[in-house]
Amino acid sequence: MDCAEEVTAIQRALQPVEGVREVRVNLLAGKVTVKHGDQVDADKLIKAIKTDAGLSARAAAAGAPAEEEGSSSWRTILVCTSGGLTGLGLLLGWLKLAPPIVQSVCFFGAILAGGWLIVPKAFNALRHRSFDMNVLMTVAVTGALAIGEFGEAAAVVFLFAFSELLESWSVARARRAISSLLKLAPETALLLEGDQTREVPVAEVAVESTIVIRSGARVPLDGVVSKGASSINQAPITGESMPVEKKEGDEVFAGTINGEGSLEVKVTKPASDSTLSKIIRLVEDAQEQKAPAQRFVDRFARIYTPAVMVVALLVFLLPPLLAGQSWNVWLYRSLVLLVIACPCALVIATPVSVVSGLTAMARRGVLIKGGVHLESIGALRAIALDKTGTITEGTPKVQEVTVLDQADETRVIELAAAIDANSDHPLAVAICAYAKDKGIRYSSASDYRSHTGRGAEGRVKGRRFFVGNHRFAHEQGACSPAIEKQLSDIEARALSVVVLGEFAEGSRSATTLAIFAVGDAIRSNASQAIKALHEARIEHVEMLSGDNQRTASAIAKQVGIDDAKGDLLPDDKTARVKELVAKYGSVAMVGDGVNDAPAMAAATVGIAMGAAGTDTALETADIALMQDDLTKVADAIAHGRRTRRMIRFNIGFALAVKAIFLGLALFGQTSLWLAILADTGATLLVIANALRLLR
């Protein structure tokens, strides 16, 4: 399967089969996925493809890459035979070394050899009342023979068959770029059984088993290090340039490369569910999500080819009938028009560009789920960023504790930790970790109640306490002017505040007992990443945070973000993203793919950071950054813009070549072989240009 015409032929062959509900053909993965009822089996589908589409097929094993068709060798032989005989016939004619009959035999041999690759496909298309490129070529060659242009007919057949062969090689190269991802993970693993190891296929390794990864070996399965320490090259998954140190308790991913140390790893996922396997499936599925440009070309091609047939017929009939001109002259011109009208370059321009772009970004640790998102990210004008885990490290720590009203520091830490023990919010986790570091024991508060985006309350030893942000403390009436000043001073230093207070018994009035200043370190490359976004022609970068406005503004100012919105609940973030979409049209939301899922869904493009090993992030985001590196966003935008330019240039170039040669054809200023040469050249240039995206 090498061209869009074969995709159409497969769909025509399978859709009428009783019991078939859906047919999805992935040209660049070389796969056909069919949803069907119990009455349909693989043999029936394979037979339909062979009989009605004229193509061979086989049932693929789950997760297996598409095998390259064995057609290359015999197709190459036929094309070479056609080219050799065409060249010999032309040489004999120019040098007058043989009678015309010998020259004609050479040309007919060339037509038969090359036509073997064209006529059967044309016949299948006509059986389904469809006019494709093969029909156009067959009609053109038949017409050329009818008017005695044997040499030109042979040249057309050879050049068209040669262009199809080169197209198949180019598609195979793009296909190999995808299948190369499959080769990242080894097929076997060293299973540890007692004190011995046994080499087994990765598919046979059960979850919770322990495998041994020797120095220099690739990691075969996702897992957690249970023994040993080493550095791991994670570039195949995350795109990181430097190895990452791994010790007991750290995650490792299939397809990554172990360094000098030996590791024992407890397997956490089966081979079919590893992060690498998911990446491969998502890259393959992404090709089926057609980019807007590709959908336009597909619609255009469906109308274009029949329209060309009608125009060619009118060009043949009208001048002789209305103006008494030569039938042979206008038949020849109509045949040239048919040849140059082949939409090869136009049809192949977008899919090869898209798959090249998707594969290149996957190699860099940026997973883009479809051509539509690849084009969308190239059109971005604004970006909204979550603060925690995106601009900051995502692991806040208690920087200082201010105790009020002569309260005991150990006691206030114990109370805050008792309430926060019920929450997994990053600030709550930081306070609990601080208590543990101080050796302070605590038990979970009773009657726990969470106030989303503001804080929580609970009962400890019969008394009611709360922990919350500035806004929540203010709502409880626990902020005196002096406390307000303290909170403002902390927030001005880009730190988050957590207020511990106690409710008066029998009322909602509260008293502040302590203030925790919690800091989340800004990522070292955050300023560089924001600068790169502006250099990528992003007009507006905005940070969205649940923290107070002063803290959000201070962090935004430090890293060069245009604007920051604080005190936002999850619904507020979603509403703000919608406002940005209304203003800028194309907006991305960057977050962790879990808490920010609603806001990411509201954006034009949702981008999840640190998705390696995170199932939710891989599923929810349109684009997943496998590494916690914000600079990858700018890389993806630049690559998206490059892909958009490539697609537009390729489509424009293909249409321009068509328009020029159509005009030349109508005025009799070109020939059949020049027309097919122009079409072949345009196709090859478009493919070669698109494959540059793989670099």
pLDDT in tens, 8-48: 778 777 878 888 887 877 665 677 888 888 778 788 888 87
Q: Token pair of 303, please? A: 């109308």
Among 119-133, 259-273, 654-668, the range of highest mean pLDDT = 259-273
Percentage of residues in the chain having pLDDT higher than 70: 86
Q: pLDDT tens digit string along 319-333?
A: 999 988 989 888 888
What is the topology classification, in CATH, of domain 397-519? Calcium-transporting ATPase, cytoplasmic domain N (3.40.1110)
Q: pLDDT tens digit string along 246-271?
A: 999 998 988 888 988 899 999 998 98
Indicate yes or no: pTM above 0.85. no
Where do you find CATH 3.30.70.100 in the chain? Answer: 4-53
Percentage of residues in the chain having pLDDT higher than 90: 29
pLDDT at 441 over 80: yes
- Weakest mean pLDDT among 75-89, 398-412, 553-567, 676-690: 676-690
Mean pLDDT of 280-304: 65
What is the topology classification, in CATH, of domain 188-273? 2.70.150
**Angle of CA points 672, 647, 384, to nearest 5°:** 170
pLDDT at 82 over 60: yes
Mean pLDDT of 239-252: 81
Where do you find CATH 2.70.150.10 in the chain? Answer: 188-273
Q: Regarding predicted confidence, which is higher, 625 or 56?
A: 625
Q: Regarding predicted confidence, which is higher, 588 or 117?
A: 588
Q: Which residues contact 498 (CB under 8 A, 6 or more apart)?
A: 416, 427, 431, 455, 467, 468, 469, 515, 516, 518
Three-state secondary structure string covering 666-684: HCCCCCHHHHHHHHHHHHH
pLDDT at 292 over 80: no
Q: According to the CATH classification, is domain 4-53 in 3.30.70.100?
A: yes
Mean pLDDT of 492-518: 87
Q: Is 386 a catalytic residue?
A: yes
- Weakest mean pLDDT among 11-20, 127-136, 390-399, 404-413: 127-136
Rounded distance between C-alpha atoms, residue 96 and residue 17, angstroms: 56
Confidence at 70, pLDDT banded by 50, 70, 90: very low
Strand 210-213 relative to strand 188-193, pairing: antiparallel
What element of type H or E holds 193?
A: strand 188-193
Q: Regarding predicted confidence, which is higher, 633 or 372?
A: 633
For 77, list phi and psi in degrees, rounded to 5. -60, -45
Q: Regarding predicted confidence, which is higher, 533 or 125?
A: 533
Q: Token pair of 360, please? A: 């290149």
Confidence at 539, pLDDT banded by 50, 70, 90: very high
Catalytic residue among 52, 386, 635, 679: 386
Are 454 and 472 within 8 A, CB to CB?
Answer: yes
Give 62: exposed, middle or buried? Use CB within 10 Å, 0-12, 13-18, 19+.
exposed
pLDDT at 297 over 70: no
Q: Token pair of 450, please? A: 């969470």
- Weakest mean pLDDT among 293-302, 305-314, 428-437: 293-302
pLDDT at 650 over 80: yes
Confidence at 63, pLDDT banded by 50, 70, 90: very low
Are 465 and 445 within 8 A, CB to CB?
Answer: yes
Where do you find CATH 3.40.1110.10 in the chain? Answer: 397-519
Specify the pLDDT at position 611: 62
